[in-house]
Chain A
Amino acid sequence: MTIALRYTDAQRAFRAEVRDWMAANVPREPLETLESARGFAAHREWERTLARGHFGMVTWPEEYGGRGCNLIEWLIFEEEYYRAGAPGRANQNGIFLLGPTLMEFGTPEQRARFLPRMAAGEEMWAQAWSEPQAGSDLAALRATAIRDGDEYVLRGHKIWSSRAVYADWGFGMFRTDSASDRHRGISFILFPLDLPGMRVRGIPQIHGETGFAEIFFEDARVPVANRLGDEGAGWQIAMATAGFERGLMLRSPARFQATAARLVELYRRHAAELDPAIGSQVAQAWMDAQAYALNTYMTAARLIAGGTIGVEASLNKIFWSELDLAMHDCAMRILGTRAQLLPHAPDAGDVGAWLEGYMFSLAGPIYAGTNEIQRNIIAERLMKLPRA
């Protein structure tokens, strides 16, 4: 059993094409945080630039603005993307989560309506999973979508909706059967974020920027055609999203390998003034990023050969979120007394390159399903430990 990859000539050529394009197009200065109005606008513009290069979502079919790349080519794209230090993907809720779900469960009309505009950065997407009483226990959700002719009337309260303040569209789960409970009677619905009968209120995050929001639905109406999949099948559709694509695509290894490389460089610059124990942490971070990459290639090869991904998504989520946290934690230790400063402080040094990432890494064990929930899934479904 081995893992080794000799890239084909076509794959090398693709890498070279991406590398050249990124060198010519990636903004020289980092964009403002996408959690701000100006920063989000800049990130939206970047999505459009990507689309002009036909790099919006390389794994998608050409008819939706993609290139029909396989997963190995996707990994190559991601490697070049992060190697070039390109901006974060502001439309990730769309391209990584909803897009694949539409591909699997959407009607031809829905796919044609939403996917090309998503890949082109013309429509940006927010997620609306959680409710005040339904976080980890998502099946406790209460928001309703009651049928009225050929429309659904949405009522309820969604919260922690990433990007909802600045995005154009949202997706979430609503009870189409108001008498239902738990996983039944839920439908998966797409909605514009500027409907009458809807209020979006930004929630400042720990850094003070408005990265997520709550959405109040007060008889907002959407056409029945905005339902994805069958009525009552929403839970299964949402969970399917959590399998294959989210498990592999939400966080590509390249992102962490790029961070690990920066961390090694940071360590080298400061090594003389550091506790030697930090060297072990830096090396561990590099090794773990490498392990995550190797595991992803192994998974990609398995999927290309017709395999599936299920519970492995939970193993991945724990691993990358803890890795990201460990790397940023380590960087803050290296920065030492400067780590308390904001990037614009006169003596901040390298803080600007790490602070936003550090803050964001703290959220990693929480979003996309808390790591506690992921550990339950691993223990019960993979290891077959008994349920409580």
Chain B
Amino acid sequence: MMAASVRELLTDVCAPAVLRAVAEGRDPDGAARWARYHELGLPGLLAPETAGGLGLSSVDFVLIAEEIGRAAVPDALAEHAAVAVPLLAETPGDARVAPVLEAAAAGTARLAMALSQERFTAGAAEADWLLIGADDELYLVPRSGVRLVEQPANDRLRRVHRVEYTPVAASRIAKGVAVREAIGRAFERGALNVAAECLGVAERLLEIGVAYASERRQFGQPIGAYQGVKHQFASAQVKLEFARPVVYAAAAALEGPVERAQVAVSHAKLAAVAAADACARIAMQAHGAMGYSWEVDLHFYMKRGWALAGAWGDGNFHARRVQSALWSGAQPLGPDHTFSATES
């Protein structure tokens, strides 16, 4: 229901023509888009109702994140709404938090996240505040208080920066074991979001590819009628279908023991990235030379997949996390452990 409304909104607000304008530098800001996101309460979806948010949980955001991926939203909306806002909401006790949280929920202030686990930050250049996590400390810093080193990237719709910051005690809003754990959870949420976004990217790529393969004719019939093309699409669809339940199970796992959640999230991220990649390949292949052109929209979604593959833990990180849990015996094995992440 909510996801359908979000799809409708994003189809309009982030139409391919908009993506093209942003990618070509004709719309560097996006303030008007944030106002539209706020129509559905998206920036404050996970903020507590007392802060003016809708008080939903991370789990509720999974389907929204899929829609954000499907639209290749050219703003760090998921990081703001489903990573930074919940982390800030978990950090009460400091007088500076409440007003920022309220503004973030209202979409009037934008947040970006810089965690020591994450090399680059999305949305930093447009953010009003940066939430900087290092070890067991959390800082809330205005953008003017950090140095941003831009890292031009393939996905021009998702600008990333290295955030340089020398900790200033006055900006520290929390410290301690609980903060370390909260930062850990924030990282898992970030990884889960990008996994869900990848599902949306994959779906969109398949749609674009199938539409083109159904229309483009060679040798007297649509190219999509040839098995050589058809079977590649079917293989990509299989990858997508079997990534989806993994992502949904990881969402539930976030509420369970952290070591199990980590394996579930890493699996989700690996599976969803692989699905998006497989869908990108066949979508591009079906387009032939058209798929290699700037003119066709395909590349916006394909590049989003590439960007997400490296965001919130790259493939090496997540593969190693799964493997170490398997080899150490921390991950229970066998048929009766399907729900080991959520079954206490």
Contact = CB atoms under 8 A, between A and B. Distances in A.
A330 B252 CA distance: 31
Contacts of A282: 326
Given A4-B252, A388-B221, A388-B226, A294 B238 contact: no
A79 B235 contact: no
Interface string B126-164: 000000000000000000000000000000000000000
B252 to A, nearest CB: 4
B334 A261 contact: yes
A55 interface: no
B271 A287 contact: yes
Interface stretch (A59-67, A164-172, A375-383): A375-383
A383 B210 contact: yes
Interface string B218-253: 000110111101110111011001111110110111
B231 A379 contact: yes
A383 to B, nearest CB: 5
Contacts of A375: 227, 230-231, 234-235
Nearest to A4: B252
Interface in A273-296: 279-280, 282-283, 286-288, 290-295
Contacts of B251: 1-2
Interface in A247-295: 253-255, 257-258, 260-261, 264-265, 267-268, 271, 279-280, 282-283, 286-288, 290-295
Contacts of B338: 5, 79, 253, 257, 290, 293-294, 297
Contacts of A5: 338-339, 342-343
Interface in A12-69: 15
Most chain B beta-carbon contacts within 10 A, residue among A83, A258, A264, A383: A383
Contacts of B243: 291
Give the interface SS of chain B, mostly helix, strand, loop or mixed: helix
Nearest to A276: B323
A344 interface: no
Interface in B40-67: 59, 62-63
Interface residues of B, number: 49
B245 A385 contact: no
B117 interface: no
B204 interface: no
- In this complex, the interface size class of chain A, counting residues with CB under 8 Å from chain B, is 35 or more
B267 interface: yes
Nearest to B59: A2
A295 B245 contact: yes
A125 B156 CA distance: 61
B233 A318 contact: no
A279 B323 contact: yes
A38 to B, nearest CB: 28
Given A79-B338, A83-B336, A294-B249, A385 B267 contact: no
B231 A387 contact: no
Interface in B232-291: 233-235, 237-238, 241-246, 248-249, 251-253, 267, 270-271
B343 A7 contact: yes
B169 interface: no
A6 to B, nearest CB: 6
Contacts of A312: 241
A290 B222 contact: no
B134 to A, nearest CB: 30
A3 interface: yes
Contact of A385 (B62, B230, B333): B230
A379 B226 CA distance: 10
Interface string B190-234: 000000000000000010001001100000011011110111011
Contacts of B327: 264, 267-268, 271, 279
B233 A379 contact: yes
B238 A315 contact: yes
A386 B224 contact: yes
27 contacts: A3-B252, A4-B249, A6-B343, A82-B335, A83-B335, A254-B335, A255-B335, A257-B333, A264-B327, A267-B327, A280-B319, A283-B319, A286-B322, A287-B270, A293-B338, A294-B245, A294-B246, A294-B248, A297-B338, A315-B238, A319-B241, A375-B230, A379-B231, A382-B237, A383-B234, A385-B210, A386-B222
Interface of B: 59, 62-63, 206, 210, 213-214, 221-222, 224-227, 229-231, 233-235, 237-238, 241-246, 248-249, 251-253, 267, 270-271, 319, 322-323, 326-327, 333-339, 342-343
**7 A-B pairs closest in CB distance:** A4-B252, A254-B335, A261-B333, A375-B234, A379-B230, A79-B335, A294-B245
